[in-house]
Structure 1
Amino acid sequence: MNLLDAAAVFAAGVAAGGINTVVGSGSLITFPTLVALGYPPVVANISNNIGLVPGGVTGAYGYRNELTGQRGRLLRLGSGSLIGAVIGGLLLLGLPAEAFDVIVVALIIIALVLVIVQPRLQKWIRARRAEEGTQPPHGGPLLWVGVLLAGMYGGYFGAAQGIILIALLGIMLDDDLQRLNAGKNVLSAVVNGTAAILFTLTWLFGDTEINWWAVLLIAAGSTCGGAIGASVGRRIPPMVLRGVIVVVGLVAIVNLLA
C-alpha cells in the first residue's frame, strides 16, 4: 500500500465513522474503497468490519448522555445482536460473497420503507398496545428477533445495518429518535465487535485472510469520524435525521446496484 492509497483508506475511514454514528451505511464508503484498491471482496469486507469497531465505540461514547436509562433495554437487545453477529460472521466465512448481493439490496429497501412509514406504524402500534393494556419496555420478543436478524446481516456485510436498526427501534419503542440513535450505535458496536473477534480468531488459526494495514488505517479514521459524527448527529432535529437516513439508504442502493 503506497502513501496515496493509505490516505484514501484513512479518509474513507473518517467518513464511514461519521456516517455510521449519525445514520449507518459507512461500510458503503470503506468497502468499495478497499475493493477499488485491489483487495479481494471478502478480505476487504472482513478488514473493513474490524477497522470500524473503534469508530463504533467512539460514536456510542459520544451519545452517552442519550444512553441514560437504557441499560436494561440494551443488555436484552444486545444479546440478540451478539448471537446474530456470530451467525452472520459464520455465513460470511462459509458462503460465497455473491450469494448475498440481492438480499443486501432487498434489506436496505425494506429498511428505508420502515423509516419512511415509522411515525404511522408507531402510532398504530401504540394504539394497539393501549387497547391491550401492554407496553413492553424492551419492545417485546418481536423486536428482539428483528435485532437478531439485523445482527446476522451486520455480521455478514454490515452496510446499512444502522438504517435497519433505527427503523426497528423507532417502530417498536416509544422514545426520542436521538435516544434510539444512541441505542443503535451501541447495538451496531456489539455486532461489529463480535464479528471482529470471530474473524480474528479464525485468522489466528489460518482460516481467514485479513489485511491489518487496512484495518489500522480504517480504525484510526473511523475513531476520528465517530467523534465528529456524534458531535454533529446529536444536534440534528428528528425530521432532518430521518431524511438523512433515507438519502443515505438510497445512495447505498445505487452503489450496490452499480
Structure 2
Amino acid sequence: MHALETVAVAAAAVAAGGINAVVGSGTLITFPTLLAFGYPPVLANVSNTIGLVPGVLSAAYGYRREFAGQRTRMIRLGAVAVCGGLVGALLLLLLPADTFRAAVPVLILLACVLVLLQPRLATWLRRRGGGREGEGLLPVSAGVLGTSVYGGYFGAAQGVLLMGLLGTLLPDGLQRLNALKNYLAALVNGVAAVIFIAVTEVDWAVVTVIAAGSVVGGFTGARLGRRLPPGVLRGLIVAIGVIAAVAVTV
C-alpha cells in the first residue's frame, strides 16, 4: 500500500468504526474505498471483514455498561449469531457474488421501517402479553439467524437490520439494544474472520490499516452513541439505512 492509499483506507476505517458503533453500515465506507483502489471484490470483502473485527469489539466494550441484565439473551442470541455468521462466511466462498444483491435493499428498508415504528410495535407486543425475556424469543432468534447469515456473507447495514429486529421484538431501551447489536455483530464478524483466515486469501496490509482505524472509530463512536437521545439515535439509524439501501443498488 502506498502512502495515499494507506491514509485513505485508514480514514475510511475510522469513519466505519464510528458508524458501526452507533448504527452499523461501516462496510459501506471501507469496502467501496478498497474497490476504488483496485482490490478484487472478494479479497476486499474478506480483508475488510477481518479488519473491522477489532473496531466492532471496541464498540461492544464501549457499551459494556448497557450489558447489565442481558446475560441470558446474550448467550442465547450469541449462539445463534455464531451459527449464522459461519453459514454466511461459507456462502461468500461458495456462491456467486451477486446472489443477495436484489434482496439487500428491501431488507434494509424494511429494517428502517421497523426502527421508525419500533415504539408503537413494542407497545402493541407488550399489550398482547409479552414478558421481558420470553417475549418473541423464537422470532428474535430466527431474525438474528437470518441477519447473521447476511452479516457473515457481506455485512453492509447488518447493524440497521439488527436494530430494526431487536427494537421491534425486545421491548427495552434503545441504547441497551444497541449494545446487544454491537455484541452480536462482533460475534458474526469474528467467526467470519476465522473462516476467511483459514481458507482464503487475505491482504494483511489492508487488514492492519483497517483494524487500527476501526478501533479508534469504535471507541469514539461508542462514547458519542451512548449520549444520543433515543429519538436522535433512531433518526440516525434510519438515515444511514436509507443511504445504505441506495448505495448497495448502485
Do the aligned partners of 1:129 and 1:135 also contact (CA within 8 Å) in 2? no
Alignment of 1:9-48 (within 5 A): 9-48=9-48
Shift of 1:135: 4.7
Shift of 1:138: 6.6
Shift of 1:169: 1.0
Q: 2:232 aligns with which of 232, 240, 244?
A: 240
CA RMSD of aligned residues (A): 1.2
Partner in structure 2 of residue 205 of structure 1:
none
Shift of 1:60: 0.4
Secondary structure of the corresponding residue to residue 101 of structure 1 = coil
What is the number of residues matched between the two proteins?
A: 250
Tell me, yes or no, if structure 1 residue 223 matches structure 2 residue 215. yes
Do the aligned partners of 2:73 and 2:133 also contact (CA within 8 Å) in 1? no
CA distance in 2, matches of 1:13, 1:154: 18
Shift of 1:158: 0.4
Tell me, yes or no, if structure 1 residue 193 matches structure 2 residue 193. no
Partner in structure 2 of residue 72 of structure 1:
72
Do the aligned partners of 2:77 and 2:141 also contact (CA within 8 Å) in 1? yes
Shift of 1:139: 4.0
Partner in structure 1 of residue 166 of structure 2:
169
The runs of at least 4 consecutive aligned structure 1 residues that moved more than 3 Å come to 134-139
Partner in structure 2 of residue 152 of structure 1:
149
What are the superposed Cα offsets for residues 116-137 of structure 1, whole Å, 9 maximum, x if unpaired?
Answer: 121121111111126xxx5544
CA distance in 2, matches of 1:139, 1:9: 40
Do the aligned partners of 1:10 and 1:218 also contact (CA within 8 Å) in 2? yes
CA distance in 1, matches of 2:78, 2:40: 31
TM-score (norm 2): 0.97
Larger displacement relative to structure 2 (95-104 or 36-45): 95-104
TM-score (norm 1): 0.94
Percent pairwise identity: 56
Give the 3 Å change call, closer, same or farther, for CA 180–210 of structure 1 in structure 2: same
CA distance in 2, matches of 1:107, 1:137: 25
Do the aligned partners of 2:118 and 2:164 also contact (CA within 8 Å) in 1? yes
CA distance in 1, matches of 2:132, 2:68: 20
CA distance in 2, matches of 1:70, 1:150: 20
Larger displacement relative to structure 2 (97-106 or 3-12): 97-106
What are the superposed Cα offsets for residues 180-213 of structure 1, whole Å, 9 maximum, x if unpaired?
Answer: 10111000000000100011111xxxxx221111
Secondary structure of the corresponding residue to residue 101 of structure 2 = helix
Unaligned runs of 5+ in 1: 203-207
Secondary structure of the corresponding residue to residue 102 of structure 2 = helix
Do the aligned partners of 1:17 and 1:52 also contact (CA within 8 Å) in 2? yes
Do the aligned partners of 2:105 and 2:246 also contact (CA within 8 Å) in 1? no
Unaligned runs of 5+ in 2: none
Shift of 1:254: 2.1
